[in-house]
Structure 1
Amino acid sequence: MKLNRTTLRTIEILKLVSRKTDGITLDEICEQLSLPKTSGYDIVTTLVQTGMLHVAREQKQRYTIGLTAYRIGINYTNNLDFISVIDPVLKAFSREVGKTVFFGICSDDAVVYICKYEPENPIITTATVGARNPIHCTSLGKAIMAYTKEEDMQEVLKRMTFKKYTERTILTKEDFIKELEHVREKGYALDARELEEHMECVGAPVFGQDGNIMGAISVSSLYKPTEDYDALGRLAHAKGRELSKLLGFLGKY
C-alpha cells in the first residue's frame, strides 16, 4: 500500500514539534527531518492556518503544538479506557463530599481538566472540561508536579511563569519547589485561594500501572473559614489511592 509522502512529512513535523516544548524554528524542522525548505514551509504554514501548530512571532518564528491538535488529543484522552474506570468512582465521590470533583493532567506548563463531576446542587466553578489553568496555583498542578520525575519536572519549571492571581499566589520557583515538598509530606495539595480569591481546592495524585503519575483529582468549593481543608485533602488522598489501585498501581502510595 502506497503512503502519501506529504501526509507522512506532516505527521513527522507534528511529532517533532510535540517533543520541543520550547518551540522549534522552520530551519530546525527542515534540518532534523531532511526536508527541502520550500516543502517544509508549505506544510508548516498550512498547519498554522488550521490550528494544528501555533507560531510565536519572535525574531525567529518558533512553532509549538496548536489548539486544534490539543483538542484532538483531549478527544482521544476522553475515549481512553481508564476514563470508564474512574468515572463511577469520581461521580460517587462528588456526591459524597457535595462538591465539584475534577480529574486533570499537565500539558506543557498548564493543567488541563479532563473530567468534571458535580453533586446534585453544584457550586458554580469557572473550570470546564478542556480548560487550562496554571500549574503553580492549582491543587491539580501541584499534586501532579510533586510526583513527576525530577528531569521532567525541571523541564516544566523552565517554561513556567509565576503569574500573580491573588495575594496568596506562589511567585517564585524556589517557593514552588518548597510547596511540592509539603505536598509529598502530606500526600495532597492545597490551592489556598491562590488562583481565585473565593475558591479553595484540594488535590491528590493518581498513578498508573507503570508507577508513573497519570494525573490528579481535585475537590473544589467556595472558600469557607470553617471548612477543614486538610481533612478534605486526606479524603482526596484516599480517593486517589483507590483510583490508582483500580488502574493497576501496586506501589506505595
Structure 2
Amino acid sequence: MTATKLMLNEITRVYHDGDTELTVLNKLSLEVKAGELVAVMGPSGSGKSTFLSIAGALLTPTSGEVLIDGESLAGKNGQQLSKLRLHNIGFIFQSANLLPYLKVEEQLMLVAKLADMDKRAAQARSAMLLERLGLLHRRSAYPNQLSGGEKQRVAIARAWMNDPAILFADEPTASLDASRGQDVVAMLAREVKAEGKAAVMVTHDERVLHLCDRILHLKNGVLVSA
C-alpha cells in the first residue's frame, strides 16, 4: 500500500479586513501519495500562495487539518512547526534562493548542519544527490558561476538533503527558458520516484504538465481535476 505523504482535510482559510470576510480556501481536501508529482494551477488571486503556505506548515488554516507523513500539524507551536519543516518538508522557490557566499556543496551541508545530521552521512548524501542531478563537477562553484538551470538543480538537491517526506515547488520554471524548465521538472519528477517521496508544484507553465502525475486547478477555494 502506497504511503500518504500529504493530507489536507477540509482546509478553510478566511481573511478579515474590517467588516469584510474573504474565504480564500473553502473546505479544500487533497491527498498526495509517495511517488507522486502533483501540479496545482490557477489564476493570480485564486489562493495558490495561501494553499502552499498552509500545506507547507507556514500558515495555520482557519479550520481543517494538515498531516505530513501521517503526522498532524494541529496543536503544534512555532518551534515544533519549524522543526517539522526542517526535517519533513523541502521547498523550491521561483528563484533558487541560494546563498551567494556558499559553494554548491556548502549549500547542502548547511541544511544538514541545521538538522544536526552526522557530518560524514551528510557528505555522502550531498555527493549522491549532486551526482544524480549532474552537479558533482560543480560542487565547488559559487551561485554566480552557475546557469539558471544549474541553480534550480542545486535547489532541488538542497530541498532533498534532509530526506523530507514532501517537497513543495513554487513556480520553479518561471525564470527558466523552455528547455531548462523541462529539464528541471523532469529531474524533480525522477527524484520523487527515486526517493519514494512526493511533491506538489504550483505552476503556470503548461509546457511541463506532461511530466506530472496529476494536474489540479484551484477554483473557488477548492482543488478540481483538470
Same fold, TM-score > 0.5, yes or no = no
Structure with the larger RCO, 1 or 2 (CA within 8 Å, 6+ apart): 2
- Computing the radius of gyration from Cα coordinates, the structure with the larger value is 1
Higher share of residues assigned helix: 1
TM-score under structure 1 normalisation?
0.29
